[in-house]
């Protein structure tokens, strides 16, 4: 019999994809399934080819080529004969007007709290990490995970299971060599379709610069106005060259960009440069910022999370967000 497979579908931006991928890697280990990563969707693919290998090295992931004809059963069954489609297509086909309702998402992805699916092909889909839901599976050789927090598990997976593709690593190293010549304060601000808390971010930067006036400032953002604002307060900052989208349009959703895979590479370079800074200022409401925090080796006292109620554990903040989305959908559908 062929080995059953787990296909991890890509969704949304780099941060979301990494968190879902790490969850899929752990689930594939627990369930004994061969891992396939499918990022053929148009967010980062220019021509329908799998963009994953252009962005990451992952020894555990087999190439997603034509599946064996012996693999005939699928879970969720909506993917039968539709594996070439991406998540937005599937949600719109099967859940029509419920695209923004989190309850519709479970219809196109397995329940990660279960590992006993009998189907040959299981499809994993998520916008977020799913570690909390897997905790009931932490027994036997995986029992040691019970003593670890979700973030500790994700951090270990980030370091042992995936790495940026070699071309990405080389560009990150070259930028650091040329520009990271002293202490660097890294800032992430999302300011297009979603807004990080800019006011608290600027206040945190003001405090750090007062203590370390000679530190450089690296800014990872999707909005050129943010760079101009910070430079008006602190002088020139470090940024990577990129094309910015129109106001209100996330870079990874900008269909006018000449190369979508290049967009993914630019985001990944910013992510690892941000994580390589000596100080990190971020709003963890953004999954991109959360992944940067997971990657960084900066001491905890140098990491400044400006999110509201940062003391609340991430799983609880996520539950509150899901509850809010369900409440909003129920009122305004």
d(CA 148, CA 185): 29
- With 80 as the cut, is the pLDDT of residue 218 above it? yes
CATH of the domain at 76: 3.40.50
In a domain, 331, yes or no: no
- β-sheet bridge partners, residue 266: none
Say if residue 237 is in the same domain as residue 288: yes
d(CA 99, CA 78): 16
**How many angstroms separate the Cα of 133 from the Cα of each of 4, 26, 34, 238?**
21, 12, 20, 39
d(CA 118, CA 110): 12
Q: In the predicted model, what is the mean pLDDT of residues 295-319? A: 76
In a domain, 154, yes or no: yes
In a domain, 188, yes or no: yes
In a domain, 333, yes or no: no
Residue with tokens 């598990």: 153
For 247-296, write each residue's pLDDT tens digit: 555 555 556 666 788 989 999 999 999 999 999 999 888 889 999 999 99
The confidence score (pLDDT) of residue 237 equals: 94
For 118-144, write each residue's pLDDT tens digit: 999 999 988 889 999 999 999 999 999
Give the mean pLDDT of the chain: 85
- With 50 as the cut, is the pLDDT of residue 195 above it? yes
- With 60 as the cut, is the pLDDT of residue 332 above it? no
**How many angstroms separate the Cα of 261 from the Cα of each of 89, 168, 249, 283, 327?**
20, 12, 17, 26, 36
In a domain, 213, yes or no: yes
In a domain, 22, yes or no: yes
Range of the domain at 193: 166-317
Q: In the predicted model, what is the mean pLDDT of residues 307-315? A: 60
Q: In the predicted model, what is the mean pLDDT of residues 66-92? A: 81
Q: In the predicted model, what is the mean pLDDT of residues 193-214? A: 86
Say if residue 301 is in the same domain as residue 235: yes
For 38-49, write each residue's pLDDT tens digit: 999 888 888 888
Which residues fall within 8 angstroms of residue 333, CB to CB, at 6 or more apart?
97, 98, 101
Say if residue 157 is in the same domain as residue 219: no
Residues comprising the chain, all counted: 333
Say if residue 231 is in the same domain as residue 278: yes
Are 172 and 270 a contacting pair, CB within 8 Å?
no
H or E element in which residue 54 lies: helix 52-55
Say if residue 225 is in the same domain as residue 272: yes
Say if residue 71 is in the same domain as residue 89: yes
In a domain, 230, yes or no: yes
Say if residue 116 is in the same domain as residue 28: yes
The confidence score (pLDDT) of residue 215 equals: 94
- On whether the pTM is more than 0.85, the answer is yes
In a domain, 300, yes or no: yes
Q: Which one has a higher pLDDT value, 88 or 163? A: 163
Residue with tokens 């509150």: 320
The count of domains in the chain is 2
Q: Provide the pLDDT confidence category of residue 318 given band limits of 50, 70 and 90.
A: low
Are 10 and 124 a contacting pair, CB within 8 Å?
no
Task: Examine the fold and report which residue of 139, 164, 189 is the final residue of a domain before the chain moves on.
Answer: 164
Q: Name the nearest CA neighbour of 152 among 131, 126, 128, 125.
A: 131
H or E element in which residue 152 lies: helix 150-160
H or E element in which residue 281 lies: strand 279-282
d(CA 148, CA 151): 8
Say if residue 154 is in the same domain as residue 171: no
């Amino acid at each position: 019999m062929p080995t059953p497979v787990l296909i991890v579908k890509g969704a949304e931006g780099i941060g979301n994809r990494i968190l879902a991928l790490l969850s899929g890697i752990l689930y594939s280990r627990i369930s004994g399934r061969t891992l396939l990563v499918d990022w053929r969707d148009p967010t980062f693919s220019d021509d329908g080819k799998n963009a994953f290998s252009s962005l990451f090295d992952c020894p555990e992931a087999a190439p997603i080529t034509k599946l064996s004809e012996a693999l005939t059963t699928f879970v969720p069954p909506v993917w039968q004969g539709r594996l070439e489609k991406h998540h937005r297509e599937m949600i719109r086909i099967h859940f029509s007007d419920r695209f923004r309702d989190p309850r519709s998402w479970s219809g196109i992805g397995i329940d990660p709290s279960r590992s006993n699916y009998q189907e040959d092909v299981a499809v994993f889909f998520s916008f977020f990490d799913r570690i909390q839901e897997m905790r009931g599976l932490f027994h036997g050789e995986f029992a040691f995970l019970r003593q670890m927090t979700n973030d500790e598990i994700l951090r270990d997976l980030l370091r042992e299971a995936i790495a940026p593709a070699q071309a990405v690593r080389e560009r990150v190293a070259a930028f650091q060599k040329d520009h990271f010549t002293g202490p660097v304060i890294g800032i992430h601000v999302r300011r297009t379709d979603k807004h990080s808390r800019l006011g608290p971010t600027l206040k945190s930067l003001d405090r750090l610069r007062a203590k370390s006036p000679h530190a450089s400032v690296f800014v990872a953002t999707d909005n050129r106005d943010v760079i101009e604002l910070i430079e008006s307060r602190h002088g020139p900052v470090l940024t990577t060259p990129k094309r910015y989208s129109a106001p209100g349009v996330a870079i990874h959703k900008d269909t006018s960009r000449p190369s979508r895979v290049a967009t993914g590479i630019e985001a990944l370079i910013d992510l690892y440069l941000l994580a390589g800074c000596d100080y990190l200022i971020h709003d963890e409401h953004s999954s991109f910022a959360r992944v940067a925090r997971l990657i960084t080796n900066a001491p905890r006292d140098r990491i400044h999370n400006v999110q509201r109620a940062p003391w609340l554990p991430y799983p609880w903040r996520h539950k509150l967000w899901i509850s809010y989305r369900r409440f909003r959908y129920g009122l305004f559908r």
